Structure 1
Amino acid sequence: MSELVRERVRGVAGNPATPPELLMLMLDHRLAGQAVLIFRADLPDEVCRAAAAHPDGHIRLALAESWHATPEQRALVVDDPHPTVRATLAAGPDAYRVTPDPLPEPTYARLAGDPVRRVRAAVADSWQCPAGVRARLVDDPDPMVRGAAYARWVDPPEEVTDRLLADPDPDVRRTVARRACRRRPELLAEVLDATWSDGWELSAVAIDAGLDRASAERLARHGDTGVRAAVAENPHLPRDFVDELAVDPEPKVRLRVSLRPGLTEAERAAVDYRVRPTDRIDPARWVLERRDDPDALDVAVRSAHIGLRRSAAYSPHLRPDQVARLAADEDFAVRLLLCENHDGVPGEVLLAAYLEARVITAGMLLGRPNFPRVGLARLADSADPRARMLVRHDPEAPADLIDRLSRDPDEHVRWSMAADPRLHPDRLAELLDDPATTGGAARNPNLPADQIERILTEAGILGAAATARTGEV
């Protein structure tokens, strides 16, 4: 299959006008079937049932990890004959910056009783696993599953902690101790001894574990920069070690000190930290933990510290006055993070952020509830092709303007307009035959049925009998 034909097939797979019977036929061609499950925004139930029963394991796997399928549709493969499919279902779709809806609880329960360990481990490792199912998994006969189930439990009961601290398997005991030492400082020394050479493990513990003085000193003077940076944010760190880390030779450590809770603005300013506009920094942990409490975040919203304002912008629960303040922030990252996380950001702020952003997540702003639609036609003569591409989202943009932009010198603008249903059929046919725009044209909901069938015939999906390809995953 040539790349041109492949592009057209992907377009047809995502085209809302492609009928379910053709989508099901596409399942019998592996690449086309996977395209249906990846690019189709709304998957018909009959297509998902056909995918779940398909003899090719790659098609069933694609359904298990489809972020467009509903949880109920994905759950159709709960009894799949291949453990890779079941484990993938348990883990959930890996969609960038999108949290898929959890599976139905009975599905998690069924997967938790799976005979294959890696399937049960995948359930245990999922943050979305219901607490009732997780409570079963911490009693699983396999220590790997028990440890994973406890490690992902947000708030494990104390009796579960006590029981697993006495588990016969040493790896389970170590896993539980690493989590439990946040509440039980008496466990910390043992955890530090066991993980002293592992900077990543130590950092995960150091950031919020309850600290006695001896442990605080060990961590604050550790040779690994990441460990010192982590403990610099620990709210239990004694003040003299805070002062010591505030003059640490490593800028990363000093920055994390400056983000600590409880410091005054003057104390933050006294730390020699720097955050440049293009720097990417992890948000302050204490701010993220309080993101549901806008009153507690007010100190971060109003701080002179760019890092704290960026951290506050992650909260979807800010008050209108806080949103207005951060929407006018001089730091672009503050404004972008606010746009990505809060539904109340004004439309003009969203539009400005989209046009200014040069990051992979910029396109996600188009899906925010307040992103403006009407009036985008005014951008048709912008020097920025990304602005011209927005015209197709204006429901009032006239057909002749869409036609004009379908001839734009920028191929990305032309591709975007090729999917617009306002295009005249003759122009749509021209764009379908243009390699630069064929994929967009194949997604156009006004693409005639005979054109859709022509594309599938050229791909060998229609015409000659399509034979289902069996395959292991």
Structure 2
Amino acid sequence: MRGLARNPGLPPDLLLRVIDHPAVESYHVMARREFTDATFDLLAAHPDARVRVHLAEAEGATPGQRARMLDDPSPEVIKALLVGPYARWWVPLPPEVTGQPPRERVRPVPLSRAEAEEMARDDEDEWQRARAALEPALSTGTVGRLTRDPHPTVRQHVAMRAGLTEAERAAIDYRVEQGDYLAVPDWVLDADGDLLTACVRSAHPGLRRAAAFHRDLTAEHIAILAADDDFPVRLLLCEFQAAVPVDVVVRTHLAGTTINIGDLLWHPALRAADLTGYADDPDPGARALVPLDRRAPAGLIERLSHDADPWVRSAVAGDGRLSAERVLELYADPETTAAASANPHLPVTVMERILAEADHLSGPPRP
């Protein structure tokens, strides 16, 4: 049912039956690479606001399609439209439609010296002290005390203060692990020229991670960060820079374990790249990316549908370049049935049978 929900060949009457079925949530319907205007408009008119919210957040919807929802009566839908799909931050609603610039990071208001000093004295909350450690208004004495703070989070952050030399940062006893959460200092986002380059080349992973957010990285900066030995640096670079080379995006995606690592599959580098070279990659995850290349020949897609790895066969099973005969073979294989259910060449009679056989399924009660 969930495979069927994202099938682009699903007739309108069946689509409405699927989306209202208790075994399907509306986000299952939105998990498709693109929407026809007819399908988008049908879902945009759905009476359930949750369906329209998920449509507004759908990565596969174009900015022009999403702009057609700006007169939606639900404030939640409007909010979802303005925030946009997380995985496609580089394609916001057109400014001429919203009257607003592309979405930017909201920065905290700088603290006064009195506020910063009070926060730095919070012995109960190391995160308060860590935030204070980045405030430019802090006194020299307080900064010195925070460099010796007993909590490593505070020392991590005070070592990211503006104005320190690399030697001064290195003199602070800090260490950064891959899973550590670090703030993004505003001074790094505002840096340019030699200062930005210094952040990109800093020994402090927190400054390099912050630099990955910068809107004006040069090709040299991107190349340096793409080779960084800190995985979060490479991940953030892929998430926030459209000019990252395709192989960096692919390898970062394959190495990732976070719940949203699939968002990288929407990176613009993949949309324009020739991915057929990954068809013989020893990593099945890389071979599974080939169907994202809309120019890959049907013969190659057919070959990958016989791949020894079920992950690869499932990645290909929904591809419209497969023959109808091969789609039915994949549908008959329990390892690829769900994926083949999303193939537009699946006969409508089979789609109807899936719906008929799903009558006994139930999901969580709808609010």
TM-score range for the pair, normalised by the shorter chain length: 0.7 to 0.9
1:89 to 77, 92, 114: 77
Distance 2:183 2:117 in 1: 25
Distance 2:292 2:333 in 1: 23
Alignment partner of 1:280 is 2:180: yes
Identity of aligned residues (%): 39
TM, length-normalised to structure 1 = 0.63
Of the structure 1 ranges 323-332 and 371-380, higher mean CA displacement relative to structure 2 is found in 371-380
Deviations 1:61-116 (A, max 9, x none): 311342136444444540xxxxxxx34224426855555846999999xxxxxxxx
Measured after TM superposition, the shift of residue 247 of structure 1 is: 0.7
Does the CA contact (< 8 Å) of 1:15 and 1:444 recur in 2?
A: yes
2:167 to 266, 269, 283: 266
Measured after TM superposition, the shift of residue 334 of structure 1 is: 1.9
Measured after TM superposition, the shift of residue 50 of structure 1 is: 5.1
Q: How does 1:40-439 map onto structure 2 within 5 Å?
A: 40-44=32-36, 47=39, 51=43, 59-66=48-55, 67-68=57-58, 70-75=65-70, 77-78=72-73, 86-92=74-80, 96=86, 101=92, 182=109, 208-212=110-114, 215-223=115-123, 224-276=125-177, 278-287=178-187, 289-290=189-190, 293=192, 296-371=195-270, 373-374=273-274, 376-380=276-280, 382=282, 384-394=283-293, 399=298, 401-439=300-338
- For 2:336, the aligned partner's letter is T
Measured after TM superposition, the shift of residue 29 of structure 1 is: 4.3
Deviations 1:234-275 (A, max 9, x none): 011111110111011111111110001111111111100001
The corresponding residue for 2:362 is none
Distance 2:242 2:336 in 1: 33
Distance 1:60 1:448 in 2: 31
Does the CA contact (< 8 Å) of 1:411 and 1:436 recur in 2?
A: yes
Give 5+ residue unaligned stretches, structure 2.
360-364
Distance 2:234 2:20 in 1: 46
Aligned residues: 350
Distance 2:78 2:295 in 1: 44
- For 1:354, the aligned partner's letter is H
Which structure has the larger Rg over C-alpha atoms? 1
The structure whose residues are more often helix, as a share, is 1
Instruction: Rate the CA distance shift 1:360–1:36 in 2: closer, same or farther, 3 A.
Output: closer
Q: How does 1:23-38 map onto structure 2 within 5 Å?
A: 23-24=15-16, 26=18, 29=21, 34=26, 37-38=29-30
Distance 1:47 1:379 in 2: 32
Deviations 1:170-227 (A, max 9, x none): xxxxxxxxx8xx5xxxxxxxxxxxxxxxxxxxxxxxxx30114xx4443322212121
- For 1:431, the aligned partner's letter is L
Distance 1:335 1:52 in 2: 36
The corresponding residue for 1:39 is 31
- For 1:265, the aligned partner's letter is E
**Counterpart secondary structure, 2:228:** coil
Does the CA contact (< 8 Å) of 1:71 and 1:103 recur in 2?
A: no
Instruction: Rate the CA distance shift 1:443–1:294 in 2: closer, same or farther, 3 A.
Output: farther
Give 5+ residue unaligned stretches, structure 1.
1-5, 79-85, 109-127, 131-153, 156-178, 183-207, 461-470
Distance 2:97 2:226 in 1: 43
